[in-house]
Chains A and B, each alone.
Chain A
Amino acid sequence: MANTESLDNVVLELRRGVIVLAVLSQLNDEQYGYSLLKLLSDQGLEVDQGTLYPLLRRLETQGLLESVWKLEEARPRRYYVISAEGKKLLPKLKKEWAGIVAVMDKMLA
């Protein structure tokens, strides 16, 4: 039981580290929270909504995302899209990620 819990925690930490990169990479086209959640899930990355929504707000506060409310099918939706600052940061993050993957692949081989 304890082992399962620690495994879950480690996996959670690993995922938490990559969510920012995943979110920024998927927001070249605007998405609202739930559509982004499904988009990430369709590509194999399950993100808890309790993590995603506060993260989107935080990234917006940091100036990496922009958002706008739109009324669709009588339902207001908040659409997020990567900002100019986010676009500048994304290649650097991708490079970091590639470096981490290369190092870890070598280590785990």
Chain B
Amino acid sequence: MKLINRYVAEVGRHLPLIQGREDIEKELRSTLEDMLEDRAQKAGRASDETMEIELLKEYGSPQKVAATYNPHPYLIGPQMFPFFIFILKLVVFGIMVGLSVVMGIQIITQMSVMGSEFVSIVGKGISNIVSTSIAAFGYVVLAFAIIERFVPASEFKMGEEQEWDPTTLTREPSPDAVKRGELIAEIIFTFLGLAVLNLYPQALGMGFFTNEEWFFIPLFSAAFMAFIPWINITFLTEILLDINLLRTGLWTPLTRVFKIIIEAAGLAITVAVFRTPNIIGFTAEMFKNSSITAEAAQTLTTIFTTMFPFILIIIMIIQGIELAKSVYGLFRVNYETK
């Protein structure tokens, strides 16, 4: 029986952390003992180690046996997979375009220093694109794996899996139904935003090779960094709300109010960033030690310091529209139910 005990323990080790793990082990042990007894009776002799080995060999490897009990063998299930691929392509494409533009700017601003430094910039740029894409791939996989765990496949149906009713084309969609695709996209991008802001702040800025040394100028100043905890809180609350909406599938007045609060907080942060002076880290001063000419540095600084408020205004407009939509959603539903 020693081998059976070891075998059961080995199966247990490979069992997923599901409820009733001990129960499975107990039942397996009992079954194997029954089977062994049966064999001994048929053979007309007491069971021995050879008999145990034969039995366990037939029963299969512990990993294989444990796998049959795994209720959730997917990291990203087949229902979510097409959407995963869609988001992955979008993210990797965005990174390639974004970082290629950064590399382009570096090449243009350093036209005076060609030769080996040019090769360095291109080499560094390409390796940056590759490493960032791989990191983004990891984060997208992680985000989807979390969604897969939090939202069971039975509750989550996409595309062709959904029971489709052609009459849905003729009637207005329920104002309370959540748009799952939008929510998932929002979760993924918020998650990526969190990861970049907190783990890869160096991705937000410009790097150069100067005299064989890597020279990096952050895009944002310390004044911006003070906003990161607030942005984190807003982003995390948004992710939690979205996961909850994915699970329930419906908006309620409470979740709508939450959404309004989060969106208002987001807008408030953007307004605060807009009102904070010297948020951009680029100054002509900072480029002094780089290989960039003073003129190019000035142009670059002017571009970013002029562009940034415009970008913020666009973000504020988008946030304002989203906020107005949420407020409208809350009142429309309340009005219609009265």
B86 to chain A, nearest CB (A): 31
Q: Mark B53-95, 1 if CB is under 8 A from A, else 0.
A: 0000001100011001101000000000000000000000000
B residues at A contact (CB < 8 Å): 20, 23-24, 26-28, 30-31, 33-35, 38, 59-60, 64-65, 68-69, 71
Number of A-B contacts (CB under 8 A): 42
Bound form: Cα–Cα A107–B182 in Å: 47
Pairwise interchain contact A50-B27, C-beta atoms closer than 8 A: no
Return A7 CB to nearest CB of chain B, in Å.
22
Q: Roughly how many angstroms separate A35 CA and B64 CA in the complex, as a whole number?
A: 22
Closest to B70 in A: A54
Interface of B is mostly: helix
In the bound complex, do residue A50 and residue B65 qualify as a contact, i.e. CB atoms below 8 Å apart? yes
B64–A50 touching, CB < 8 Å = yes
Q: In this assembly, does A97 line the interface, its C-beta being within 8 Å of a C-beta of chain B?
A: no
Among A32, A53, A75, contact of B28 (Cβ-Cβ < 8 Å): A53
Subset of 7 A-B contacts with CB under 8 Å: A32-B30, A34-B31, A49-B59, A53-B31, A57-B69, A76-B30, A77-B30
Q: Are B68 and A53 in contact (CB under 8 A)?
A: yes
Whether the pair A75, B30 counts as a contact (CB closer than 8 A) is yes
Q: Which of B20, B30, B59, B65 is in CB contact (< 8 Å) with A57? A: B20
The residue in chain B whose Cβ has the minimal distance to the Cβ of A73 is B37
User: A6-49, CB under 8 A of B: which get 1 and which 0?
Assistant: 00000000000000000000000000111100000000000001
